[in-house]
Amino acid sequence: MELLRPDSAEAAAAALGNGSVALAGGTELVPLLRDGIVRAEKLVELRDVVPRGVDGTRIGAGTTLAELEVDPDIPQALREACSLAASPQLRSMSTLGGNLLQATRCWYWRLNFPCYLHGGDTCHAKAGQHREHAIFGNERCASAHPSDPAAALLALGARLRTTSREFSLVDLYRLPTDEERNVTALEPGEVILELDVPRPEASVYLKAMERRKWSFAIVGVAAARFADSIRLGLAGVAPIPWALSSVADLEQATPLLGTAYKVQIARALVRRAVEAVSAPAGA
Amino acid sequence: MVVELTINGNAYELEAPVGRTLAEVLRLDLGLTGTKIACGEGHCGACTVQLDGVPVLSCITLVHTVGDREVTTIEGLREHPLVEAFVEADATQCGFCTPGQIVTASALLAANASPSDDEIRHAMAGNLCRCGTYPKIERAIHTVAGDGGGS
Ligand SMILES: Cc1cc2nc3c(=O)[nH]c(=O)nc-3n(C[C@H](O)[C@H](O)[C@H](O)COP(=O)(O)OP(=O)(O)OC[C@H]3O[C@@H](n4cnc5c(N)ncnc54)[C@H](O)[C@@H]3O)c2cc1C
Ligand code: SF4
Ligand code: FES
Ligand code: FES
């Protein structure tokens, strides 16, 4: 394996593809490389070429979750999502861009079972252990997207700027299909540079976990209010970060035997989150 | 590929493949075995070292990405008052997590000389102890904070 240190984001993008993989904080990529789930001939180091820091509504993709969890100028939902994600050491290493592109924690996938998401034709989790898995979008692959920040950014209506285009965060994700098993729509030669995160009137992130700290979301719910409308983004409920328009949308859930409990948790968290961001009566 | 490192104030230069982690270099190439590898995948904190004073996980840090950041390992914290405080508070049982605990706690105290219980729990959450010494670790940190340590 080789390590490339490009001197601009454009040079990094040009170097990607064909066995070259982008490396940011490495918290996701290094274990996957070691386990042979991701293969790379070259690593392209992004640390010095992707923007880092917050400037108005713009957040560099190289900003770490640790920097964001203490930033008073970003919306509360994103700050809380970063603060509740992973562990302190991981937050100091993890970039926001890498967080949005993290892969599923489904243990069958991580143990390299030839499952649907790896290109096979069955979902081992559905027939096996799936307590942590999805309640939406789980027809083929039932994995649950683990990103807390992505749920917050979805509720906030964030947009991404990459080396080749600008688009809404919603369009970064897609459910896996028979043709395309990947859950993100980033091109091989594309580097995420920054996010534009609108300022809501109020926002919040609530996360149900097995323990109070340092745990993946069973369900994470972000709510953001802009004028009279409230948008919701959920973590841990579908193979991709999942948008809902109201608590009523939870009636459309398609839980597995082992994930039915998540619907109830989601219902409670959505109610609480909506209440937390709603304008006080009479105001 | 050649890598240059500053570890606990000492300069090192060595040859390491791109996939080599900082933890492997510390333990296997340099014999600095105070840093432990338990899970090897970012879950437990046993491998915690500081880069420019910030606790990170050396088991998932590729050594070639350290750059000019200064590495501090448990060997560099021998004289830190936390070491004595951990012993006094009986905050180590099997001891495997202890180097990582002290590396993280010393960064906490450097940033915040008298952390509250909540601040300690937030900062220490990434260091698991399967022997369950958590209350004693908290006590040890408070002891050092109380006698003005953390400088
Ligand atoms: C044990 C553990 C627990 C965790 N718990 C949580 C949790 O509770 N909540 C949560 O939200 N997350 C959690 N995470 C995920 C963690 O936050 C991510 O691993 C991290 O944010 C990834 O960022 P990175 O900079 O380390 O990315 P890397 O590992 O360097 O990269 C990840 C992927 O993104 C690509 N990439 C990175 N940056 C860019 C860019 N700018 N443009 C294009 N491609 C890019 C890489 O090629 C790679 O495919 C956990 C991770 C671990 C290991
Ligand atoms: S949930 Fe998805 S990743 Fe997990 S076994 Fe099923 S297809 Fe594979
Ligand atoms: S050994 Fe590095 S986190 Fe467990
Ligand atoms: S003392 Fe045994 S793991 Fe902490």
pLDDT tens track for A7-52: 999 999 999 988 999 999 999 999 999 999 999 999 999 999 999 9
- Residue B55 contacts A, CB cutoff 8 Å: yes
Percent of chain B at pLDDT > 70 equals 97
Indicate the SS3 state at residue A181. Answer: coil
Whether A24 maps to a domain, the answer reads no
Return the HEC string of A233-281.
EEECCCCCCEEECCHHHHHHCCCCHHHHHHHHHHHHHHHHHHHHHCCCC
Name the closest residue on chain A to residue B2, using Cα atoms. Answer: A3
C-beta separation of A169 from A154 below 8 A = yes
Going by C-alpha positions, the residue among A111, A113, A91 that lies closest to residue A31 is: A111
Nearest neighbour of B54 by CB, restricted to A1, A26, A92: A92
- Chain A residues near any Cβ of chain B (below 8 Å): 1-3, 23, 26-27, 30-31, 33-34, 43, 45, 47, 66, 86-90, 92-93, 213-214
pLDDT at residue B122 greater than cutoff 70:
yes
CATH number assigned to the domain comprising residue A262: 3.30.465.10
pLDDT at residue A281 greater than cutoff 90:
no
Domains detected in chain B: 2-73 (3.10.20.30), 79-145 (1.10.150.120)
Nearest neighbour of B125 by CB, restricted to A30, A43, A213: A213
Name the closest residue on chain A to residue B50, using Cα atoms. Answer: A89
Whether A6 maps to a domain, the answer reads no
pLDDT given at position B149: 40
Q: Whole-angstrom Cα distance, residue A187 to residue A36?
A: 22
pLDDT tens track for A58-69: 999 999 999 999
DSSP element (H, E) containing B137: helix B134-146
Whether A12 maps to a domain, the answer reads no
Q: Whole-angstrom Cα distance, residue B109 to residue B107?
A: 5
DSSP element (H, E) containing B122: helix B117-124
Q: Whole-angstrom Cα distance, residue A238 to residue A244?
A: 12
pLDDT tens track for A83-106: 999 999 999 999 999 999 999 999
Report which ligand 2 atom has the smallest distance to the Cα of A108: 5
Q: Whole-angstrom Cα distance, residue B38 to residue A152?
A: 32
- Residue B116 contacts A, CB cutoff 8 Å: no
Largest CA-CA distance found in chain B, in angstroms, rounded: 46
Average pLDDT, chain A: 96
| Domain span at A161 | 50-278
Nearest neighbour of A33 by CB, restricted to B19, B55, B125: B19
pLDDT given at position A188: 86
Domain count, chain A: 1
pLDDT given at position A283: 52
Indicate the SS3 state at residue B105. Answer: helix
CA of B137 to the centre of ligand 4 (A): 10
pLDDT tens track for B47-87: 999 999 999 999 999 999 999 999 999 999 999 999 999 99
Phi-psi region of A216 (alpha: psi -120 to 50; beta: other; left: phi over 0): beta
